[in-house]
Structure 1
Amino acid sequence: MSVDEHKSHKPDQLSCGVITVSDTRDVDTDKSGRLIINQLKGQDYNIESYVIVKDEEVEIELSINEILSQSVDALLINGGTGIAERDVTIEVVNKLINKELPGFGEIFRMLSYTEDIGSAAILSRATAGIIGKTAVFSMPGSSGAVKLAMEKLIIPELPHIIHELNK
């Protein structure tokens, strides 16, 4: 089956959760969270949950598990993917995923390098994987990084991923 044939078998409706990991953002200043939500709504996907949590492993894990308990198809996380001491999102996500999608991080860093930030792309630890039957994407918190990940990778491929998970 061709890639186009695979992508033509997509669910009619998707439910999503969004988490912003930040010590400083709130609902009014969370530009990246709003960008994710607007991109998902632009595809007519349902937003089941949206939260902002501090850069604390326990808070991040509790929020992930709470949203997963709602049986969402996809969970999109932004923030906490860098190398600073407080950046712990990836440690939490990697502990929870049972299947990694290494291509997401690899291609995200390649696109970041060529289209956006040059060699600073090596600082990104963006990752994706599967927890149960939920696709999880963890991307940097900058709005430029979120826009890149959403437009070039997540939005084009999410229906196909969910289709594959629901076979």
Structure 2
Amino acid sequence: MEHSNEVRKILNVGVITVSDTRTFETDKGGKAVIEHLNHIDIQVDKEHYMIVPDDKADINHAIHKLLNDNVDVIITTGGTGVAKRDVTIEVVSSIIDKEMEGFGEIFRYLSYTEDVGTRAMLSRALCGTKENTVIFSIPGSVGAVNLAMTKLISQEIHHIVHELNK
């Protein structure tokens, strides 16, 4: 592949965990994202790892802080389901310029075939772009994080950023 992860621009990545109950000590999903990024030689600066409550204003503020810091990629975990408090997708959808529908479609397919079966239909995983930043919104469970990071995000993160900036 011409612009695979072999083309290694140093990426500036932000991670936002959306949860009313997680702390930095108990945030397994956010830590799993960071571990997967470390495996492909991407470090997340401490100030670019946040935990925010399931609240539209808080999520919006965190995403805009990272956008103002000119990160290349934002990965949110949590708040992607159908419960009343799950509002991450609504916020991200209101921010992005373009949605990459294939990400959510493939994520749900893989979730169905490799992880949770028919419960995959409850996931509203999303990926889109805002100017030169790609935003991935994935469920907060460690299983979903591992699936998204291993099968999709880690495979294409450099390529997507390259495409956004060419």
* Pairwise TM-score range, normalised by the shorter structure: over 0.9
Show CA shifts across 1:52-79 (max 9, x none).
0000000000000001111011000000
Question: Unaligned 5+ residue runs, structure 2?
Answer: none
Contact 1:57 1:92 in 2 (8 A): yes
Instruction: State the match for 2:111 in structure 1.
Output: 112
2:4 counterpart of 1:7: yes
2:52 counterpart of 1:45: no
Question: Unaligned 5+ residue runs, structure 1?
Answer: none
CA RMSD, Structure 1 to Structure 2 (Å): 1.0
Stretch of structure 1 that moved more, 11-20 or 21-30: 11-20
Contact 1:13 1:46 in 2 (8 A): no
Fraction of identical pairs, as percent:
53
Output the TM-score relative to the length of structure 1. Answer: 0.95
Size of the aligned set, in residue pairs, is 164
Output the TM-score relative to the length of structure 2. Answer: 0.96
The 5-angstrom pairing of residues 55-70 of structure 1 reads 55-70=54-69
Secondary structure at the aligned position of 2:3 is classed as helix
Measured in 1, the distance between the counterparts of 2:44 and 2:68 equals 14
Residue identity in the other structure for 1:15: N
Query: Structure 1: which 4+ aligned runs deviate by more than 4 Å?
Result: none
Measured in 2, the distance between the counterparts of 1:93 and 1:26 equals 22
2:84 counterpart of 1:85: yes
Instruction: State the match for 1:135 in structure 2.
Output: 134
Instruction: State the match for 1:17 in structure 2.
Output: 14
